[in-house]
Chain A
Amino acid sequence: EAQVTQNPRYLITVTGKKLTVTCSQNMNHEYMSWYRQDPGLGLRQIYYSMNVEVTDKGDVPEGYKVSRKEKRNFPLILESPSPNQTSLYFCASSQDRGPLHFGNGTRLTVT
């Protein structure tokens, strides 16, 4: 089944403790991206990647890192999480400017 898989679904952590949210797609898509969704602010792009080893900042990249060493994987790294990074995160992928396919989301709480 074609899908984007994110893990974990839920994560509670403390300020400053490094964490990684994994994202994997099995559709051989070149484009992958990360979004955060907050009430009243909608979906905001954090980082995106056009292809392997090519990543670029989105609208809200501060406090986040990404890497794209393989086509299928695009992990999101929070080196030192802070409470303002508490949010619902989505990974997505697409091909040829087609529709984005989203993962099920990761709800992150930073205390």
Chain B
Amino acid sequence: SQELEQSPQSLIVQEGKNLTINCTSSKTLYGLYWYKQKYGEGLIFLMMLQKGGEEKSHEKITAKLDEKKQQSSLHITASQPSHAGIYLCGATKASGTYKYIFGTGTRLKVLA
């Protein structure tokens, strides 16, 4: 099973609608990172969350990390076609080796 469970796997929304993507770990995380990937291209870093309860926003995208540092959500307000792509959560674990883990991604399509 994946160390980071991401949901949903895919999402199709009408332009202007809000949406939320979730990322869950069974273990406490050191840092949680959100990335966006256009199909077949590189991953673009969006935001990093490190503190329990932390929330960050950039333009119409807001990411939150829960108090236990095991669950994060990415919320897009008033989606636009430019938001389409694959969103991946990545993380480093609070203990153990210096290793990054990733969710399997959420494929987002925004209909104009």
B-binding residues in A (CB < 8 A) = 31, 33, 40-43, 45, 48, 50, 88, 90, 92, 94, 97-105, 107
Contact = CB atoms under 8 A, between A and B. Distances in A.
Nearest to B93: A97
B101 to A, nearest CB: 9
Contacts, number: 51
B100 A100 contact: yes
B45 A97 contact: no
B42 A97 contact: no
Interface of B: 2, 30-31, 33, 35, 40-45, 48, 88, 90, 92, 98-100, 102-105
Contacts of A105: 40-42
B98 A100 contact: no
Contacts of A48: 99
10 contacts: A41-B104, A43-B88, A45-B99, A90-B42, A97-B98, A99-B48, A101-B45, A102-B44, A102-B45, A104-B41
A50 B97 CA distance: 11
B40 A102 contact: no
B99 to A, nearest CB: 7
B33 A100 contact: yes
B99 A104 contact: no
B40 A40 contact: no
Nearest to B46: A99
